[in-house]
Structure 1
Amino acid sequence: MRYQQVARGSERFLVAETDSTYYDLTAAKPELEAFRDLARSAAVADETIDDLARGALDDAPEIDAETVRNGRQIPVTPEEVWAAGVTYEISEQARQAESDTPDMYVDVYDAERPEVFFKATPSRTVGPGEDIGVRADSNWNVPEPELGIVLYRGDAIGYTVGNDVSSRDIEGENPLYLPQAKVYDRCCSLGPCVVSTDDIDDPHELAMSMSITRDGEEVYTGETSTNELVRTCEELADYYTRHNAVPELAVLLTGTSIVPSDDFDLTEGDVVSIDIEGIGTLTNGVRTV
């Protein structure tokens, strides 16, 4: 089942999609106003989020697709977004190319312990249709399309699409600048929905693509599959939760394997669209921050 948070005027409600039909879960169960409420209620009832949602469908009115499309908000508001790096071979090669200390990325790619780092707070994270940001003090900014694992108290309950926007020149200048290259205003986007773990047979076999348009013209397109991941989602989540008091709701991005050429720089006014099989397409404009 797919879940979206939708706004209509001053109303905010949680929508479940099944068999291409949209249902207003909040109208059926007012306590289910946001995805967090669904996750929390399912945990209390010791059920999956899909099982809990199905129990409300009979009383949930249908909503037309246009209302959902026009009112779509960020589908989940995590207290923290974390990310994993150097989990695909092409990412390892790109990080080597940008860095004055390339060997360290080879070591991480081959090491037992993955790179897992803090990415964003809610105030730095945007949803579908909102602008992601590129730093004004960076000359080399790129989007990074990634599969996101939605975690409730450290356990995977769903997947979403994420964009780990990054300043490659800042990180390449010195690896210690990674937080500045990764964490800033509008540095992350999530959407367009959360798909339950029950609806994704294997997160390591999903087609992924990205396109970027500028002034109405496509300036970049690329595609890959999550089967290129050298780590499993379970392994990455395990390292994220180790010796770490994780929040109630978090998203862990799993790394990128679509990397534009070294002469590409994301520019204000660009439009980035990321599609992951079984989840959907996340589209964002770009602004300078």
Structure 2
Amino acid sequence: MAMSVFDEGIFLGRVRLDGGGHPRIVTVRDGKVVDITAKAAPTVRDICEMDDPAGYVRSAQGNVVADLDAVLEGQADGVTLLSPVDLQAIKASGVTFVVSLLERVIEEQAKGDAGRADQLRGEMLALIGEDLSQLVPGSDAAMAVKAKLIEKGVWSQYLEVGIGPDAEIFTKCQPMASVGHGASVGLHPISTWNNPEPEVALIVSSTGEILGATLGNDVNLRDVEGRSALLLGKAKDNNASAALGPFIRLFDGDFSLDDVKQMEIALEVVGEDGFRLSGHSSMSQISRTPESLVAAALGTHHQYPDGLALYLGTMFAPVQDRDGEGKGFTHKRGDVVTISTPALGALVNTVGLCTECAPWTYGPRALMGDLARAGLL
């Protein structure tokens, strides 16, 4: 059997077992999912607040739950893979890549009308006439481009956070509201122009230490945000609109933030109508460093006592026509979205409406009650 990435790294995640009770904290060993839940660390948050999370997971005693392949394929009886974080805040960075930046400006100019996007894309590229990917946000050169764009009358709030001094950091969902590998992801039913956003999410402790990474789908409603940036909450934070997984890969001697910075994130969308879309996002092209994005989210200005998961943004913006020339891409119910990279595996979700996805009913209070009844608190 060929060695998989899960044989090489130290992985941390969560599963739910049939019969109720608290989620189990798991790792992967020798092709098996292993339950390492213990009173010393009954949550992923507790492990991430340790001095050496990777060392703890590597040496923790546990019991085999199921074969890894069966769990990933949704074929393990009585075992459901959950989002790999629990009590952490779920935050996201916006407009961190130049391609994404230009698409956000197009969304704004189009006022949510997907039919105008193709024409505006050409007009904006001709007007800007600068290679924004070479700009350091907040630098003198970036401020000179800003002045030029203001003079031309095309300055945008998206350009402000794309090349200005301050990063966009927003709340993607509440703690314990993210969904995991194999779950449905939700679109608000008012949206007719939307897309997946394939991203890396960093796992950060309460002290700001970056501990590891996982894959994420920052589901996006382009028409809603395009009407007004003040609708960001409606565009981004809906039931089942934040996917993470399949596991957190913790930093150790063989895997570090430098590896994250060189990742190529692949995306594939397969529709029930036979439509196929593929693309990628290169972390090497990010315009703000992961460290600077973490510092923008957490510091003396803002604390997260349970740590956070931080989506880093994407350079991928789908423009492939789906339902006719010039109409661009939008999701349809039943689309299967696969986000992958060799070091982290693959996150697979099926697109539905947020009103039809399983409602979010299991929050921190329910978790604390279940852990207490199990004698783990």
In the alignment, structure 1 residue 116 sits paired with structure 2 residue 169? yes
Q: How far has the Cα of 1:233 moved from its partner?
A: 1.0
Q: How far has the Cα of 1:31 moved from its partner?
A: 4.0
What RMSD over aligned residues (CA atoms) do the two structures have, in Å?
Answer: 2.1
TM-score by length of 2: 0.69
Q: How far has the Cα of 1:18 moved from its partner?
A: 4.9
Asked if the contact 1:214/1:269 (under 8 Å) is kept, the reply is yes
Q: In the superposition, relative to structure 1, how do residues 127 and 222 fare at CA in structure 2: closer, same or farther (>3 Å)?
A: same
Q: Of the candidates 2, 22, 30, which is equivalent to residue 11 of structure 2?
A: 2
In the alignment, structure 1 residue 249 sits paired with structure 2 residue 307? yes
Q: In the superposition, relative to structure 1, how do residues 16 and 54 fare at CA in structure 2: closer, same or farther (>3 Å)?
A: same
More strand by share: 1
Asked if the contact 1:147/1:276 (under 8 Å) is kept, the reply is no
Looking at structure 2, the residues matched to 102 and 143 of structure 1 have their Cα atoms a distance apart, in angstroms, of 26
Q: In the superposition, relative to structure 1, how do residues 245 and 224 fare at CA in structure 2: closer, same or farther (>3 Å)?
A: closer
Structure 1 runs not aligned, ≥5 long: none
For the pair shown, the structure with the greater C-alpha radius of gyration is 2
Q: How far has the Cα of 1:34 moved from its partner?
A: 3.3
Aligned residues: 280
- Paired position in structure 1 for 2:102: 93
- Paired position in structure 1 for 2:218: 164
Looking at structure 1, the residues matched to 173 and 315 of structure 2 have their Cα atoms a distance apart, in angstroms, of 20
Mapping of residues 25-104 of structure 1, within 5 Å: 25-26=36-37, 29-40=38-49, 42=50, 47-56=51-60, 59-62=61-64, 63-66=66-69, 68-69=71-72, 70=76, 71=79, 72-100=81-109, 103-104=156-157
Percent identity, aligned pairs only, is 29
TM-score by length of 1: 0.88
Q: Of the candidates 335, 339, 347, which is equivalent to residue 270 of structure 1?
A: 335
Letter in 2 for 1:178: L
Structure 2 runs not aligned, ≥5 long: 1-9, 110-153, 320-326, 355-377
Cα displacement string for residues 19-63 of structure 1 (whole angstroms, at most 9, x for unaligned residues) = 65543323xx454443223224x2xxxx3111112332xx43445
Q: Any idea what SS the aligned residue of 2:162 has? A: helix
Q: How far has the Cα of 1:108 moved from its partner?
A: 2.0
In the alignment, structure 1 residue 186 sits paired with structure 2 residue 240? yes
Asked if the contact 1:95/1:102 (under 8 Å) is kept, the reply is no
Asked if the contact 1:135/1:141 (under 8 Å) is kept, the reply is no
Looking at structure 2, the residues matched to 197 and 233 of structure 1 have their Cα atoms a distance apart, in angstroms, of 15
Looking at structure 1, the residues matched to 96 and 262 of structure 2 have their Cα atoms a distance apart, in angstroms, of 15
Looking at structure 2, the residues matched to 83 and 164 of structure 1 have their Cα atoms a distance apart, in angstroms, of 8
Mapping of residues 141-180 of structure 1, within 5 Å: 141-153=194-206, 154-180=208-234
